[in-house]
């Protein structure tokens, strides 16, 4: 029973640990320390549901309706492109906001430096509903999550026979460990993101990756 569990854990990590839209969103929320428990929970629970669907054989049913993947691909591309453009706008037109490590403290007052006024304000907070809905969209509108999590993991799990549910448990554990480590570990990056320029760079990277993934979803495979 231990072998399928470790196999699921290993394959789960190999599929999850990659630069992608979902991971970048979790990383950004972790750095900003906003609704992190909810975001990690949504990612881990969504992965668990998809993994269990794949192991239960639902992937064979989805394989019979290939047009569904096409619909998800275009919907996901549109969402990622929009999210990427918003990140690009933040990078090109910064608000001058920086990260304050004490999220419960009031915003720092304006500080004068060499006769110029530098305003240090907290980034506009994302509401819980917005964070959860964005996380759900980044997860469920990504066609790769169905190809990798449902089809691939489901197919490999089937080779373990009666141990396929232990395999699924290992894959679910990998998802939970990864998203928890990524989100809660990201907060330690805050000290390097205490300037408007750092946030512009981060948003610029997010914009490039999101738009690149959006384009890759609609290009011929």
Give the total number of structural domains in the chain.
Answer: 1
Cβ–Cβ contacts within 10 Å for residue 131, how many?
20
Which phi and psi angles does 118 have, rounded to 5°?
Answer: -110, 115
Instruction: Classify burial at 139, counting beta carbons within 10 Å of its beta carbon; exposed 0-12, middle 13-18, buried 19 or more.
Output: buried
Instruction: Enter the tokens of residue 61.
Output: 């049913």
The predicted pLDDT at position 60 comes to 61
Give the side-chain half-sphere CA count within 13 A for 56. 9
Is 109 a domain residue? no
Considering the chain, what percentage of its residues have pLDDT values greater than 90? 20
Cβ–Cβ contacts within 10 Å for residue 190, how many?
18
The total number of residues written for the chain in this structure: 221
Contact call for residues 39 and 132 (beta carbons, < 8 A): yes
- Helix (H, G, I), strand (E, B), or coil: what is residue 46? helix
Average pLDDT over residues 37-60: 88
Is 113 a domain residue? no
Is 7 a domain residue? yes
Residue 165 to residue 7: CA distance in whole angstroms? 11
The pTM (predicted TM-score) of the whole model is 0.69
The predicted pLDDT at position 35 comes to 92
Residue 47 to residue 49: CA distance in whole angstroms? 5
Residue 151 has pLDDT above 90, yes or no: no
Is 146 a domain residue? yes
Please give the residue range of the domain that contains residue 97.
2-102+119-218
Highest-confidence segment of 23-27, 92-96, 199-203: 23-27
Helix (H) and strand (E) counts in the chain: 10, 2
Is 108 a domain residue? no
Is 110 a domain residue? no
Average pLDDT over residues 14-31: 81
Instruction: Classify burial at 4, counting beta carbons within 10 Å of its beta carbon; exposed 0-12, middle 13-18, buried 19 or more.
Output: buried
The predicted pLDDT at position 1 comes to 56
Residue 119 to residue 111: CA distance in whole angstroms? 7
């Amino acid at each position: 029973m231990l072998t399928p569990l470790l196999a699921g854990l290993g394959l789960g990590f190999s599929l999850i640990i990659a630069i992608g839209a979902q991971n970048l969103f979790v990383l950004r929320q972790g750095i900003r320390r906003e609704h992190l428990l909810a975001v990690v929970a949504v990612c881990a629970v969504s992965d668990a549901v998809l993994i269990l669907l794949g192991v239960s054989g639902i992937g064979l049913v989805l394989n019979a309706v290939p047009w569904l993947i096409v619909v998800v691909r275009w919907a996901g591309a549109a969402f990622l492109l929009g999210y990427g453009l918003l990140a690009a706008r933040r990078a090109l037109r910064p608000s001058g906001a920086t990260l304050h490590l004490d999220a419960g403290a009031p915003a720092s007052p304006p500080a004068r430096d060499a006769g110029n006024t530098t305003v240090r304000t907290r980034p506009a907070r994302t509401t819980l509903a917005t964070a959860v809905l964005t996380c759900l969209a980044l997860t469920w509108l990504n066609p790769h999550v169905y190809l990798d999590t449902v089809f691939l993991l489901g197919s490999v799990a089937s080779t373990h026979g009666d141990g396929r549910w232990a395999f699924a448990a290992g894959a679910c554990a990998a998802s939970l460990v990864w998203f928890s480590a990524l989100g809660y570990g990201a907060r330690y990056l805050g000290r390097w993101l205490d300037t408007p320029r750092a946030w512009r760079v981060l948003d610029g990277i997010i914009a490039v990756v999101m738009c690149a993934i959006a384009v890759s979803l609609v290009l011929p495979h």
